[in-house]
Amino acid sequence: LLVYSDLDGTLLDIHTYSWQPALGWLETLKDNQIPVILCSSKTAAEMLEIQSDLGLDGLPFIAENGAVIQLDVRWNDHPDAPRLMNGIPHAEIVSIINQLRSRDGYKFTTFDDVDVRVIGEWTGLSNERAALARLHEASATLIWRDSDEKMAAFEAALVELGLKFVQGARFWHILDARGGKDQAINWLNAQYLQREGNLPTTLGLGDGPNDAPLLDSVDFAVVVKGINRHGIQLKNDTPERVYHTQQPGPAGWREGLDHFIGS
């Protein structure tokens, strides 16, 4: 079994970032050598810290919504070790969105427009962690401050340029259309297949619209009750494959594992 999990609002409480209710399962999975592969909007710098907080050091992870893939530490023979970028770098994305903003007057504020203190206010992260949240390698994060109509036009302009616009819990993320949580999962599954000779069953957990590609790419999916009112639309939402939790955040994470693996 391979477990792919979103962080904010899924394994981590959306407000406090605590994972306490999931501790028992994290330990059981570790004891059984079942990899928990974190898959988030966060930067690799943030995820290295969180991976270590959760006792998952050395495992692969997916950062920046799939634009960045960290390899397993044991795969150091891989040409892209320690991590690879799926698409154009952060600086190029920033320059593109700044051009669109000055040409068409869209109103948004990116993580690059503000300092660490403001990011701390927006996210509730400590200054240290907020600084890590700015270290994007292959995506950009912003708060949208314009109409829905303007958003549709902005998104169309991004798509035209080979980028995509992904909704997180509180923010919007822009990355190369070649990257995504789904592409990253498929790429990692192929690595496991190649290195271990068989493809393990996959279980995914997520709470936001940006987790739909994650939840569509796994054998079994847990939709953790989220704060986003638009919810998640899945391609195959049968009760055998998809479990919707009653509880939000890490309590929902535990509930999902109880459901599929047993309490």
Annotate each residue in 204-233 with x if it binds Mg ion (CB under 5 A) or - if it does not, as one string.
Answer: ---xx-------------------------
Distance CA 151, CA 160 (A): 14
Please tell me whether residue 38 binds ligand 2M8 under the rule CB under 6 A: no
Which residue of 39, 48, 54, 133 would you call a contact of ligand 2M8, by CB under 6 A? Answer: 133
Distance CA 66, CA 72 (A): 15
What is the phi/psi pair of residue 175, to 5°?
-145, 170
- Partner interacting with residue 94 (select from ligand 2M8, Mg ion, none; CB below 5-8 Å by kind): none
Site residues (CB under 5 A) for Mg ion, limited to 46-75: none
What would the two tokens of residue 123 be? 């996210």
Please tell me whether residue 176 binds ligand 2M8 under the rule CB under 6 A: no
Site residues (CB under 5 A) for Mg ion, limited to 90-149: none
Please tell me whether residue 123 binds ligand 2M8 under the rule CB under 6 A: yes
What would the two tokens of residue 210 be? 């940006």
User: Which is nearest to 221 in space by CA: 207, 200, 239, 203?
Assistant: 203
Shortest distance in whole angstroms from residue 224 CB to ligand 2M8? 12
What burial class does residue 260 get, using C-beta atoms within 10 Å of its C-beta: 0-12 exposed, 13-18 middle, 19+ buried? middle
Distance CA 49, CA 51 (A): 5
Shortest distance in whole angstroms from residue 137 CB to ligand 2M8? 12
Q: Nearer to ligand 2M8 by C-beta: 169 or 185?
A: 169
Shortest distance in whole angstroms from residue 150 CB to ligand 2M8? 19
**Residue labelled with tokens 């192929």:** 190
DSSP state of 254: H
Site residues (CB under 6 A) for ligand 2M8, limited to 136-165: 141
Query: Strand 2-5's sheet: what is its strand order?
Result: 83-85, 68-70, 61-63, 36-39, 2-5, 202-206, 220-225, 242-248
Q: Is 31 a catalytic residue?
A: no
DSSP state of 139: E
Please tell me whether residue 41 binds Mg ion under the rule CB under 5 A: yes
Q: With contacts defined by CB under 5 A, how many residues of the chain interact with Mg ion? A: 8
For binding to ligand 2M8 (CB under 6 A), which residues are involved?
8, 41-43, 46, 123, 125, 133, 141, 168-171, 208
Which residues are identified as catalytic? 6
For binding to Mg ion (CB under 5 A), which residues are involved?
6, 8-9, 40-41, 169, 207-208
